Amino acid sequence: MKVLLDLQYLNVATTGIKTYMMELAHAARTYPHPEIEWIFSHDPEKQSADQSFKNPQSKVQRLNYHLDYFKWKEFQLPDMVKKHQPDVLICPDFVSPAASLPCRRLTVIHDAFFWQMPQNYPKWWRTYFLRLIKKGLKENTEIITTTEYSRKSLYKYLKKIYPMTVIHQAPKKLSEGIDAIFLENHGLEKQRYFLHIGTFDKRKNLPLLVHAFADFLKETNSDFKLVLAGGAGQSVQMNDKPLVDSLLAELQLQDKVILPGYISDLQVRTLYKGAFAYAFPSENEGFGIPIVEAMSFGVPVIHADQPALMEVAGGAGLAVQTGDQLDLKEKMILLSSEKKRVAAMIKNGLEQSKKFSAKNFIEGFHQVILKN
């Protein structure tokens, strides 16, 4: 059984989809199956390091990327299918070629955000991208998604019912070691900060987290800090970074809320190793990989009761009502005052995180690939 894995999108992917694609490629190499021959469209490391289209600074650069992506999906990838004659084509970035192909397709649609949250995307781009997705849902298409919540959401918005399988992904394997100077440079002490890692997209509810943290400090008079690591939202419509910046000035929290920006894998590992708890108030997620990452490092997780996060946490986290600032503040206080609860959450979280291994991830694909 020959399987072609499309990795072209790694040249621009920066967040969850990048992790998904890289870990899928690594797992395919690490856990080979005797009946499956993998063909990668690109070397994952080289394609991920390609800077040709990353961080476009002008409309011309963005247009050039979209043209390159369209050319790949609609012409070059079908040519590669003709050349290698795979039995299965896997497209892990929502879009499969519109052309008819002589093989099965596994198209990964990670979430239903484009349908659920149209206000977060430029109208022209959303219309164009949804059209690409729908045109690629051709004959012999099966959809892979990340959680039961995403599966149910997609069935709601797709006009046609496609075979759909939930495969839980694996977190990124972070390099060993820590960067102790990083904590020192930001005035951080181990076990004395709450953590969030990710973009400042509006759906992440980071202004709510800042407000809840300010209330937490007032009630506890503690020396805790809050770390919000990551870059701006992925579009003007989606970006809450300016609002967070203004909130920090208004609430005089500049020395209490640390914004280190994009950070290295070693710094990510360092922050997880030293965090007291992870705070994840997002109003909408397709999966929520930071929950798994935090739990695997023995960090208790406070998360919104959004369905995907509840599914991934599996009861090992501390759920708060989505969008409820008071509830979030109270749960932060609860964790800071109950050592037995923290110890139990750490234990349960470590067990829950084991379910999301690279081996389980690739075996989910093996089962779908070989079922026919």
Alpha-carbon gap, residue 29 to 37, rounded angstroms = 10
- Predicted local distance difference test score (pLDDT) of residue 233: 66
- Predicted local distance difference test score (pLDDT) of residue 372: 65
Q: For residue range 131-187, what is the model confidence (pLDDT) as tens digits?
A: 999 999 987 899 999 999 999 999 999 978 889 999 999 998 887 888 889 999 999
Contact 5, 103 (CB under 8 A): no
Alpha-carbon gap, residue 295 to 273, rounded angstroms = 11
Indicate the length of the chain as a whole number.
Answer: 372
Alpha-carbon gap, residue 293 to 232, rounded angstroms = 21
**pLDDT, average across residues 36-53:** 92
- Predicted local distance difference test score (pLDDT) of residue 190: 94
Alpha carbon 66 to chain centroid, angstroms? 22
- Residue 235: C-alpha distances to residues 8, 101, 254, 353 (Å): 22, 34, 24, 31
Q: What backbone phi and psi angles, to 5 degrees, belong to 3?
A: -125, 120
Contact 133, 108 (CB under 8 A): no
Q: For residue range 262-273, what is the model confidence (pLDDT) as tens digits?
A: 999 999 999 999
When the pLDDT of each residue in the chain is averaged and rounded to a whole number, the result is 93
pLDDT at 296 over 90: yes
User: Which residues 6+ apart lie within 8 Å of 353 measured at CB?
Assistant: 171, 292, 295, 296
pLDDT band at 63 (very low <50, low <70, confident <90, very high): confident
Q: For residue range 241-287, what is the model confidence (pLDDT) as tens digits?
A: 999 999 999 999 999 999 999 999 999 999 999 999 999 999 999 99
- Predicted local distance difference test score (pLDDT) of residue 315: 96
Residue 199 or residue 225, greater confidence:
225
User: Which residues 6+ apart lie within 8 Å of 324 measured at CB?
Assistant: none
Residue with tokens 């967040």, as numbered in its chain: 15
What phi-psi label fits residue 198: left (phi over 0), alpha (psi between -120 and 50 degrees) or beta? left
- Predicted local distance difference test score (pLDDT) of residue 269: 95
Contact 330, 218 (CB under 8 A): no
Contact 24, 44 (CB under 8 A): no
Asked whether the CA dihedral 53, 55, 61, 63 is positive or negative, the reply is positive
Of the listed ranges 56-65, 184-193, 254-263, 299-308, the one predicted with least confidence: 56-65
pLDDT at 235 over 80: no
Tokens found for residue 337 = 């005052």
User: Which residues 6+ apart lie within 8 Å of 178 measured at CB?
Assistant: 266, 269, 270, 273, 274
pLDDT band at 125 (very low <50, low <70, confident <90, very high): confident
Residue 233 or residue 107, greater confidence:
107
pTM of the model: 0.92
Q: What backbone phi and psi angles, to 5 degrees, belong to 231?
A: -100, -175
pLDDT at 57 over 70: no
Tokens found for residue 326 = 């008071």
Closest to 306 in 3D by CA, of 332, 278, 330, 282: 282
Tokens found for residue 56 = 């476009």
Alpha-carbon gap, residue 71 to 65, rounded angstroms = 10
- Predicted local distance difference test score (pLDDT) of residue 120: 80
Q: For residue range 304-354, what is the model confidence (pLDDT) as tens digits?
A: 999 999 999 999 999 999 999 999 999 999 999 999 999 999 999 999 999
- Predicted local distance difference test score (pLDDT) of residue 43: 96
- Nearest-5° angle of CA 308, CA 236, CA 228? 55
Alpha-carbon gap, residue 63 to 69, rounded angstroms = 10
Tokens found for residue 111 = 């979430």
Domains of the chain: 2-170+357-370 (3.40.50.2000), 180-353 (3.40.50.2000)
3-state helix, strand, coil split of the chain in percent (to 5) is: 50, 15, 35
Cβ neighbours around 175 below 10 Å, total: 10
